[in-house]
Amino acid sequence: MRGLLLKDYYCLRRKLFAWGVTVLATTIVCVMFMVSTKTGNIAIVYEKMANSEDSMDAELIPFLTRIVLTMFLLLPVAASFDLIQYVFMDDKTASFYKVASSLPLSTYRRVGERYLLLGIVIAVSFVVDAVLLVLVKLTSDLMPFVDSFQIVLAFGGVSLFCATIALLFGYRFGAEAAIWGNLLGIIILIAVVVIRNLSFFKELFTVDGDESTRCILKGFTGAADFLEHKGVFVFLVSLPIAGAGYLLSVWIMGRKRGVA
């Protein structure tokens, strides 16, 4: 298994370099954004909004700040979304599947290596986001560390769920199908969210003007409240799904005589 991890590491070196640049750029922009909210141009805009006669302007200040920072924090975790597709395609290009079944490793270990690789990437992303949150905490109290990290955990759970579906599609239908597994996972999650909040979306499309803005703000606040206090459960739910996906992937590999 160590050899497979090393092989995938060499295959992913270019992608990991791009991911590292993304993380570095995210950190710099995140710090610059927080500094600007204190003493820069963004602080001036916020002051004008706070002193505006429209109360909605003042309410939008924490809304805008938190949504921008959340987008920054989710970038490192987002790197794992196309990881599985990249690894499968690289194996196909190198015709690795032709010799894979001759390796002195059980199917359990070979499939487990892919899931372990995915887990390592997500874990590293969590560490990076924890460091970013510490930096944000040093300049602002808008995003408490524990609550904000639960949002990161929730997104990590989403990434793990989608990657599990991608692995199943890759093993069953081939390298090109992995990306469709990712898309299917996203569609399933969107459908669950829409069905769970059907009344909110009905309200959103039946109001206009300021009421529409208030409805969006209410929806964001509700979603943020859920993620900040229950985000860890999203991640925990994804773990048994990944475990079931692992066993199903092993079964698929067995049916294909270990070739994938």
Are 34 and 139 contacting, i.e. CB atoms less than 8 angstroms apart? Answer: yes
The pLDDT score that the predictor gives to residue 14 is: 73
Every domain of the chain and the residues it spans: 2-255
Averages of pLDDT over each 10 residues, the chain, 260 residues: 75 76 77 73 68 62 70 75 74 68 75 86 85 76 77 89 89 83 89 83 72 72 79 92 92 68
The pLDDT score that the predictor gives to residue 237 is: 92
The pLDDT score that the predictor gives to residue 220 is: 73
